[in-house]
Structure 1
């Protein structure tokens, strides 16, 4: 948590980037130690009714409950690919998923899970680092694989989103793609159609 930790600054920047889209009942999937949940609950206290932080590690959840406790935040242990998770957690107006999809065995099942938990009219903000592609080895020991930029952008075509905006993160800044610039992290802001049937 040192202020000179560049990776930490990038993570915090993603929460700041997402804040204008955050409202209502919020899910932060793979919330980690909880600093992002706490930050959002404080900064968006008027817009957020409840924030649920989910992580699969019990020690991390125990830490979050102590260090980043907030009256609007509830931390829950859970597996993002658990088919019972949507029924257990219910529906959300906003879902945040930062640097998670590269850690799961099946990114498409993961996306299905998020879509099931997102209310019609709700917003998903999801980020992922880029790499060699689905099914390809990565140098990161905890990453199953890292999608290419093209695979990342195509993730959202399977769903009834009214609008998908793709941004690219460079350090703590976010921008639309520019010719000749190589990007390492993509961020998508997806708005679910209001008339979408809940059981897809």
Structure 2
């Protein structure tokens, strides 16, 4: 599972440029990967997570001069005013934890500069309003519901993660995680 998480950041790295937001950054390894991997293209990484203890760990273990770790709720409607706008937003494995999905999607849109890139991933499941086997997931979207999240964006590419690889959909293959790459 760790390899799958790390692979999302490797997948997203070529898209990262300018001011980057890593929303729901967790322990901070991905923010650190982006800051190191894209040191010439990235001016700043703002890494936000809800959990203070996790952020203390991130600050200690993944300190980097370009990273600022901040506490925040991804669905807090005041987040855009607090953080400003970004050239790139990364948001991995967050959507399924948020009850107010409209607030999250609105925040992402408002915080992304025109021409900016959003890279968002989420596991697939039985759909909105359906129970999941994961105790901390509010819901898990179907692939169709996942694609509908990005209607406001000018350009959208949907990929599917299978293990540590990403691909366009193929018939007969079951995918468990979707990843949207969206340009505002």
With normalisation by structure 2, the TM-score equals 0.99
Output aligned runs, 1:2-151, within 5 Å. Answer: 7-151=1-145
Aligned partners of 1:173, 1:139: CA distance in 2, in Å?
A: 24
Where does structure 1 differ by over 4 angstroms across 4 or more consecutive aligned residues? Answer: none
Q: Mind listing any 5+ residue stretches in structure 1 that lack a counterpart?
A: 1-6, 193-200
Count of equivalent residues: 184
- Among 165, 173, 176, the alignment partner of 2:168 is 176
Asked if 1 retains the 8 angstrom alpha-carbon contact of 2:52 and 2:71, the reply is: yes
How far off is 1:136 after superposition? 1.1
With normalisation by structure 1, the TM-score equals 0.91
How far off is 1:31 after superposition? 0.1
Asked if 1 retains the 8 angstrom alpha-carbon contact of 2:130 and 2:139, the reply is: yes
How far off is 1:163 after superposition? 0.7
Asked if 1 retains the 8 angstrom alpha-carbon contact of 2:48 and 2:69, the reply is: yes
Q: Give the secondary-structure state (helix, strand or coil) at the position aligned to 2:169.
A: coil
Q: Give the secondary-structure state (helix, strand or coil) at the position aligned to 1:14.
A: helix
Aligned partners of 1:136, 1:145: CA distance in 2, in Å?
A: 6
Q: Mind listing any 5+ residue stretches in structure 2 that lack a counterpart?
A: none
